[in-house]
Amino acid sequence: MHQSLGGLVVAINLVAGLWGLLVWRGRLRSSRLFEHALALSHAVIFGQALFGLLLLGGARRAPVELHYVYGLAPAAAVLFAYSSRTADTRRNTLVFAVIAVVAGLLAARAFMTGMGWG
């Protein structure tokens, strides 16, 4: 289950991040669907982090300890994005888009270390 959710974290964050970059560049218009996709990307990050902590609490360990850094870094990145919001919605779109791409890449790396691919 944790692996499947990890794949979803990677996919939804890369999609939301690239979508956000296109919105920021003016290639696409912002929409409720985009806002929901971005919110979903945050929700799956925190859900995955919580699930990982539950597994860790149940004595299920990752084969590579670096997995924990890569696994929690996306949640920290999202918290940073929220803490850096301003009244400028265009800037916020850029920040959240970049954070989503970075979170997707970090989650992909977490997936690899979780599989033992160091």
Per-residue pLDDT tens for 55-83?
999 988 888 889 999 999 999 999 999 99
Instruction: Give the contacts of 107 (CB within 8 A, at least 6 positions apart).
Output: 6, 9, 10, 13, 45, 48, 70, 71, 74
* pLDDT band at 118; cut points 50, 70, 90: low
Domain count, the chain: 1
User: Phi/psi at 86 (nearest 5 deg)?
Assistant: -130, -175
pLDDT tens across 25-62, in order? 999 999 999 999 999 999 999 999 999 999 999 988 88
Query: Which residue segment(s) compose the domain that 7 sits in?
Result: 2-114
Question: Residue 117's pLDDT is what?
Answer: 82
- Taking the model in full, what pTM does it have? 0.91
Question: Residue 61's pLDDT is what?
Answer: 85
The Cα-based distances of 85 to 48, 95, 97, 108 in angstroms read 24, 8, 13, 26
Question: Residue 22's pLDDT is what?
Answer: 98
Q: Which two tokens stand for residue 90?
A: 């265009």
Percent of the chain with pLDDT over 70: 99
Cα–Cα dist 115/87, whole Å = 41
